[in-house]
Chain A
Amino acid sequence: MHIDVLLIQIAAVLFVGRVLARVARRLGQPSVIAEIVAGIALGPSLLGAIWPEAMAALFPPDSLSLLGTVAQLGLVFFMFLVGLEFDPRLLQGRARAALAISGAGILVPLLTGVGVALLLPADLTMPGVPLHSFALFVGVAMSVTAFPVLARILTERQLVRTPVGALALASAAVDDVSAWCLLAMVVGIASASGLGGAALTLGLTVAYAAAVWFGVRPMLTRLSPRPGQEVSVDGITIAVLAVAVSALITEAIGVHALFGGFLIGAAMPRRGGLSVALTEKMEDFVTIVLLPLFFAFSGLRTEIGLLHGVEDWLWCLVLLTVATIGKFGGSALAARLSGLGVRESAAIGVLMNTRGLMEIVVLNVGLDIGVISPRMFTMMVLVALVTTWITSPLLRRLYTREMADAALPLTAPPTPAPVGLRGVLVSVSDAQLAAPLTQLAAALAEAPDEPIWVVHLRPVERMHEYLRADEDGGDLAIDAVERAITALGRPCEVLAFSSANPDEDFVRVAALKGARLVLLGAHRGTFGDESHRGLPGAALNHCAGTVAIYHHRGLTQLRRAQTDMMTPHHATLVQLTSRLHKAGVKVKPMGSPPIDGPPDLLIRGHSPGDPDPVVGDVSLLVVRGPTIEPPEKAA
Chain B
Amino acid sequence: MHLGATLALLRAHSGLSLRGLAAQVGVSAAYLSRVEHGHDPAPTGERAVAIADALGLPRPLLLNLVDEARGDGTDWLRATPTGRRLASALRRRRLTEAQLARVLAIVERELPLDADERAPSRCALLHPSRVLLRVRASRLEDIWTLATMRLAEGDQAKALLDELGREAQSQTACVGAQTVLSFARAGADTPQACLVHCVSPLPLQAPDAAPPRAVWVLAGIGAGAAGADVLVRVAHLADEGLVRALQDASCGAEAITLVEQLERQGFVGRRGVQ
Contact = CB atoms under 8 A, between A and B. Distances in A.
Interface of A: 453, 456, 458, 460, 463-464, 466-467, 470, 478, 493-498, 500, 505, 508-509, 512-513
Nearest to A460: B251
B57 interface: no
Contacts of B157: 508, 512
Given A495-B136, A495-B137, A509-B149, A463 B251 contact: yes
Given A505-B149, A512-B157, A512-B161, A493 B134 contact: no
B116 interface: no
B148 interface: yes
Given A508-B149, A509-B149, A494 B138 contact: yes
Contacts of B136: 456, 478, 494-497
Given A495-B135, A497-B132, A497-B133, 10 more contacts: A467-B250, A493-B138, A496-B135, A497-B134, A497-B137, A498-B132, A498-B133, A508-B149, A512-B149, A512-B158
Given A453-B142, A500-B129, A494 B137 contact: yes
A395 B145 CA distance: 50
B91 interface: no
Contacts of A456: 136
B92 interface: no
Contacts of A498: 132-134
B146 A509 contact: yes
Contacts of A496: 134-137, 199
B93 interface: no
Most buried by B among A464, A495, A513: A495
Contacts, number: 54
28 contacts: A453-B142, A456-B136, A463-B250, A463-B251, A466-B134, A467-B250, A478-B136, A493-B137, A493-B138, A493-B142, A494-B137, A494-B138, A495-B137, A495-B145, A496-B135, A496-B136, A496-B199, A497-B136, A497-B137, A497-B146, A498-B132, A498-B134, A508-B149, A509-B145, A509-B146, A512-B148, A512-B149, A513-B145
A456 B199 CA distance: 13
The 7 A-B residue pairs with the shortest CB-CB distance in the complex, in nearest-first order:
A496-B136, A497-B135, A508-B149, A512-B145, A495-B142, A495-B137, A497-B132
Interface residues of B, number: 20
B139 A493 contact: yes
A485 to B, nearest CB: 11
Contacts of A493: 137-139, 142
Contacts of B148: 512
Interface string B104-140: 0000000000000000000000000100111111110
A631 to B, nearest CB: 11
A509 B138 CA distance: 16
A500 B157 CA distance: 19
A440 to B, nearest CB: 21
A306 to B, nearest CB: 73
Contacts of A500: 129
Nearest to A454: B136
Most buried by A among B135, B137, B158: B137
A460 B131 CA distance: 12
A493 B146 CA distance: 13
Contacts of A497: 132-137, 146
A159 B250 CA distance: 56
A453 B145 CA distance: 12
A498 B161 CA distance: 20
Nearest to A511: B157
A470 B249 CA distance: 13
Given A497-B132, A512-B161, A464 B250 contact: yes
Most buried by B among A467, A478, A512: A512
A279 to B, nearest CB: 37
